[in-house]
Structure 1
């Protein structure tokens, strides 16, 4: 399925390893914005874009090599299957957070794929530490001078080499997916977006303590918003084995909870909430030109708004430890090809793999009945039920994740 595997030398260019700075904790703040955009899209709340027409018109846009025409006025759906890539940038340029770091990396890489019958939505996360082939790309600002293809490079360098189109081309090259739509999100709206929804309810079976992100949460149920939501999404050393894959699985706990919350009638019936969430996202985004259109957003919302929670799945692209790059990952091509084939087929599938540091099967702490925001160090309960996704195809355990219906908990740090 992959167009070019990065495990061997490329005839187009030798192995090239750039010197990438270590991502600071702030670099992962964009994940909450990606979460919000996914939740808005999957809940059907993207119709709020009609109310923010001026914002849509002012969004920065970019051309992709695959840039099909946007939908026609009056269309209520997008025809057939489609994929959208969402990239989280860690650039400080023009942002309110300025810690002296420079450059720009794609520290978050998600692909949303909607099946041809519009009954299934899958969000695939690709670890930033994944070493893989990067195709030849123009400069990040569309310069005519192309960077040469690289047979093996860290995924989060693609944005630095060739901007959003290069990040898209890199994932297309790995998976074989055609990705005609894409968005890039900065982290300036993190606090505003998490506050717009009033916080997201998550549970912890064990405490999370991470001094690098200044996060200290007790076991129990929490409603995360503002700074606490930001800290929870960016924590790495406080969950699982302290690696990027554990951080992704922890984020999936948050994302699935946010989708469930946004699909609730109470949330979507509040126009102030929907408007504030859409505004916070649109003010901090760059979109492919065919997405920066009210008709497209309305058609997108109409396409996905009725997808059942059991058919919205969050998965990690399967990887293993890199054989000679400590702390880096290499693609599991066999399991990865199976994942992409199942996703493209539109078949129902069951996720058997559980991310490190995540607890499934309803093992949530008992609801203590409190109703305080975690920003004020309070907690908020959840119902403790769990619904497993069901389907004829069983994915191997090397592919971890969960459905949006799975009410999972973070287990804190499990491996030292």
Structure 2
């Protein structure tokens, strides 16, 4: 296999070498459903600072897994705690048909990675992008090491959601690395119970729908268009619903999930969650007890990531779908076909360290811009100049010298607007499109 392109997102990290090893079987993961990676995406983008609260205790809760590397690829490294240098990539995976699910005997079949989100944080730590890969995206799957020490055969055209069945989390990472040309040192999954508990830990998440939804498969029911605060298993049902939104496809579900994700990030950043010890510790406990993480994604690493992530403006956090179209001929018939030229617009910019944003109304088939979105906050009026100080001892005291103004830190360049992509920023207020 050719060596993946080494991007700027993984250079200059404080490191310790990681030895190759077999993947340990999961002990902590119970039932995991198809949208669980959404919650971990938010953890990594905006709430990983909780790792600093009780590192030893949280570390004991986490189930770790080793990631193999492709032939010719540099060994993955474990960062030490400290100021984070450079950008980074994290692969977030939600699996279905896990053997510990309560309905596993009825469902049968392989364990599948039905949700796949790649989070990239730019080198200047002023922007981030979360890329969702549809589960039916047909891609090459490389040879992957298995837990028993054997390896799977490389395959030229398979739905991406079968990668986990061939080699666990590590195979998903190798597949996405081959598809994108990016190096992905960090990865993880989170259980569906974690999604429900995390939404409750922040006090619920407000979502918008543009019409009534009654999805009997997930139990999600909204009687009319409007805003609803969801938490617990209602939040999980909202993230899981496929037939209730858009065109009933996984592509519609992805854009609907972005409605939830953007709202959750705004809540975390704007409502004091990051400064509320009780909420932070609750999130930390939920996340650490519900995750399986790569051994590189230690609490120390997450603390360092948090220091780099917590101040990213919401308008610089972009959620985007990997570009696809519905397949019309084998091997894509009944699946989705990658649009590689459009995808290159994303990954070429990531490798070059260039931020980008979406052009115009780019919401996907499962969401719309909210026509009742709150207006932007007005710019505060300038403070009136103070009157000169009264004379003292017959003399006018000079005004104190003002401290030099430090310009705010911002992106090194204006983001490109890329047309043809579907998604939104975390600053966009959107509504899930009801599938009536």
Task: Classify the secondary structure of the residue corresponding to 1:209.
Answer: strand
Distance 1:209 1:227 in 2: 15
Distance 1:363 1:88 in 2: 32
Distance 1:88 1:49 in 2: 25
Task: Classify the secondary structure of the residue corresponding to 2:200.
Answer: helix
User: What's the counterpart of residue 45 of structure 2?
Assistant: 42
5+ residue gaps, structure 2, are: 5-29, 70-74, 378-412
Distance 2:414 2:238 in 1: 31
Distance change in 2, residues 1:391/1:241 (3 Å): farther
User: What's the counterpart of residue 367 of structure 1?
Assistant: none
Distance change in 2, residues 1:48/1:147 (3 Å): closer
| Equivalent residues of 1:119, 1:311 under 8 A apart | yes
Distance change in 2, residues 1:384/1:129 (3 Å): same
Distance change in 2, residues 1:28/1:208 (3 Å): farther
User: What's the counterpart of residue 107 of structure 2?
Assistant: 101
- 1:47-93 CA-to-partner distances (Å, cap 9, x unmatched) read 345325223134221221355332224x132x212111011112443
- State whether structure 2 residue 364 is matched by structure 1 residue 384: no
Task: Classify the secondary structure of the residue corresponding to 1:188.
Answer: helix
| Equivalent residues of 1:135, 1:170 under 8 A apart | yes
- State whether structure 2 residue 413 is matched by structure 1 residue 406: no
User: What's the counterpart of residue 239 of structure 1?
Assistant: 245
| Mean Cα deviation higher: 91-100 or 127-136 | 91-100
Distance change in 2, residues 1:45/1:167 (3 Å): closer
- State whether structure 2 residue 165 is matched by structure 1 residue 165: no
User: What's the counterpart of residue 296 of structure 2?
Assistant: 290
| Equivalent residues of 2:58, 2:284 under 8 A apart | no
Tell me the C-alpha RMSD between the 2 structures.
2.5
Given candidates 105, 108, 127, the residue that maps to 1:120 is 127
- State whether structure 2 residue 354 is matched by structure 1 residue 347: yes
5+ residue gaps, structure 1, are: 5-25, 365-382
Distance 2:158 2:91 in 1: 19
- 1:362-388 CA-to-partner distances (Å, cap 9, x unmatched) read 413xxxxxxxxxxxxxxxxxx63479x
Given candidates 336, 339, 346, the residue that maps to 1:332 is 339
| Equivalent residues of 1:192, 1:226 under 8 A apart | yes
User: What's the counterpart of residue 214 of structure 1?
Assistant: 219
Given candidates 68, 73, 93, the residue that maps to 2:76 is 68
Distance change in 2, residues 1:95/1:211 (3 Å): closer
Instruction: Name the TM-score, length of structure 1 as normaliser.
Output: 0.81
Q: Counterparts of 1:137-216 in structure 2 under 5 Å?
A: 137-139=144-146, 141=147, 143-216=148-221
Distance 1:91 1:391 in 2: 43
Greater CA radius of gyration, 1 or 2? 2
User: What's the counterpart of residue 419 of structure 2?
Assistant: 396
User: What's the counterpart of residue 385 of structure 2?
Assistant: none
Q: CA offset at residue 228 of structure 1? A: 1.2
Q: CA offset at residue 407 of structure 1? A: 1.0
Residue-pair matches, total = 365
